[in-house]
Structures are given as structure tokens and as C-alpha cells.
Amino acid sequence: MTPIERFRAPQTELNFELYFVTEVLGLRSLHYGYWDEPKTIDRVDLEEMGRGQARFTERLLELVPPDVKSVLDVGAGIGDNARALSRAGHRVTALSPDRNHERYFAACDDPNVSFRRTTFETFETAERFDLVLFSESHNYFDRRFGLRKAHDLLRPSGRLLVSGMFRSEDGTAYASDFDVSEHPYVRMAAEAGFETVQISDITPNVLPTVEMIDRAVTEILEPTLRFAEAYAAARAPWKTRLFRVFLARDHDAIRRALKKLRRKTDPDRFRARIRYATILFQKS
């Protein structure tokens, strides 16, 4: 695993989650895992999780039409999708605002993958792409803005491939027979000038990921934090008290991030309120 000291401390709740996944769990990918037969999966350990994530990338690449040459990978994480796209013969421009992610791309040294450290909002280029990929990134910027910008950055008839979580608009539970093609995002995409080519609800196929992360939070992260606090309090009670006074805000931020992560990875909540879908759109 890359030494933690080389990485910048997480600054935001999002960074905290991504940091936990890569630096604590040691996973080499930031997206969910995928299981063809999820019902046969019992308990996912870290190794199985890595295999599930590799399978997810394989399934995602199966959706890339054969005429696609250039890809804009928006919110590219630590580059496993970008590297797989390059191996499959595509030219990839990958972007992410996270400084830690830049290091993974620098290390990959692939002439077919270029990295830009920027948000999608501030990304500028004269290039027009065959495909724009939002792999678990479409919720990180305004959705309507994201769809319009993707439309602008595509060549005529270019494709937009979106893979990720779709929450119900009012935050309540979905009906069990909810059809993801009815989700407002699909309507919004049509308004932005996209036709739906293919749409799949893969919620059951990714669900073992949520169950595994939930266990990792309750069985690894929370006990470790409790241990660190108890150890510090026993070894250096005054320093611990001063730390709490002077860094109270950071302490609260960690607790908030942890609470958010717990909510996000609660398997029952996920099953009820989230649909995980892959959607291939074409610019009309």
C-alpha cells in the first residue's frame, strides 16, 4: 500500500471517504464492485472486493460502442477505468479535482491517458470527444449542468455513459417495482439533447459492495478511531484535552463524515432508497 504519509490529509467529507477506501482498506479502485450472481455471494472480503471492482470495469467497458476512440473520463478517481479504456485501445482524458488522484495518474505513465486536475465545472478544452464517461461522478456536480456540458463536449452523435447511484427525488423509498427509466435524470438528459440507448438497473449486482463497506466501517474504522482516542487519552491526557479544544472543529468534521459514511453504507437504506444504474445516452 502507498505510505499514508505521502498523501495529503483528507480535507473534505468526500476526500475522507475516498481516503478510507484507498489508504485504509487498500483498494485500488473507487467504484463499486459487480457480481453477476449476487445471490450466491456470501461474505465479501477485501480480495473478493478487488475482483468485484475489476468485473465492474469489465462490464462498464462492454457498454462502450466499438466506434469510440476518444473518451473524457469525468471524475476519474484513481484511474482504473481510464487504464482499462486505454488497454482496450481508447485515448483517454481523465479529470479529477483531487490532488491525491493526480499521483496515481502520474505513476501510471500511459501515453494514451492524460490527466487534468480540475473539476468538471472549470474544465476547458477545444477537443470534442466520442464518449463522455460519468462513472460514479454524476452526483458530484449539478446534474443539469453536467448533462449540458457533456453534450457540448461531445462530437455529433457522441455518447454519454453514466454509471452510478440515482436517489429518489424526495429522498423517500422507491416502490419495489420502480423502473429506473422513469427517473427524472433520464428526462433531464432528454431535455439536454440525449436519447437513451440502453439502461440497466444493476442495484442487486453492486449491493455486496455496500454490505462489505458497512462491515469495514463498523469492524475496522470505528474501533480504530475509538482505540486511537483511548490510547491518546491514556498516554497524554493534557495533550488530548488541548487537541479537543483547539481542533474541536476538525474532530466534529471527522464525526460528521463518519456519520455520513455510515448512512451511505447502510445496506437496508441503500436497498430502499437507491437505484444503481448504467445508462448509455447518444447525443441527438
Residue that has been written with the C-alpha cell 463499486 in this structure = 32
- Closer to ligand SAM by CB, 141 or 178: give it: 141
Q: Which residue in 20, 35, 129, 140 binds ligand SAM (CB under 6 A)?
A: 140
| Distance separating alpha carbons of residues 48 and 44, to the nearest angstrom | 6
Query: To the nearest whole angstrom, how small is the minimum distance from the Cβ of residue 32 to ligand SAM?
Result: 8
| Distance separating alpha carbons of residues 132 and 139, to the nearest angstrom | 15
SS3 call for 243: helix
Return the DSSP state at 181.
Answer: G
Binding mask 30-59 for ligand SAM (x = CB under 6 A): xx----------------------------
- Closer to ligand SAM by CB, 18 or 258: give it: 18
- Using CA atoms of 23, 32, 209, 275 in order, give the dihedral in degrees to the nearest 10: 140
Query: To the nearest whole angstrom, how small is the minimum distance from the Cβ of residue 12 to ligand SAM?
Result: 9
Stretch that binds ligand SAM, among 113-121, 184-192, 195-203, 229-237 (CB under 6 A): 113-121
Q: Which residue in 129, 136, 147, 180 binds ligand SAM (CB under 6 A)?
A: 136
Site residues for ligand SAM, 71-90, by CB under 6 A, read 74-77, 81
Stretch that binds ligand SAM, among 4-12, 62-70, 136-144, 217-225 (CB under 6 A): 136-144
Query: To the nearest whole angstrom, how small is the minimum distance from the Cβ of residue 60 to ligand SAM?
Result: 8
> From edge to edge, which strands make up the β-sheet containing 113-116?
113-116, 91-95, 70-74, 129-135, 154-167, 274-283, 194-201
- Closer to ligand SAM by CB, 33 or 38: give it: 33
Question: Residue 217 burial by CB count (10 A; 0-12/13-18/19+): exposed, middle or buried?
Answer: buried
Q: Three cell numbers at 3? A: 505510505
Does position 10 interact with ligand SAM (CB under 6 A)? The reply is no
Question: Residue 262 burial by CB count (10 A; 0-12/13-18/19+): exposed, middle or buried?
Answer: middle
Q: Which residue in 86, 93, 96, 203 binds ligand SAM (CB under 6 A)?
A: 96
Site of interaction with ligand SAM (CB under 6 A): 29-31, 74-77, 81, 95-98, 101, 119-121, 135-137, 140-141
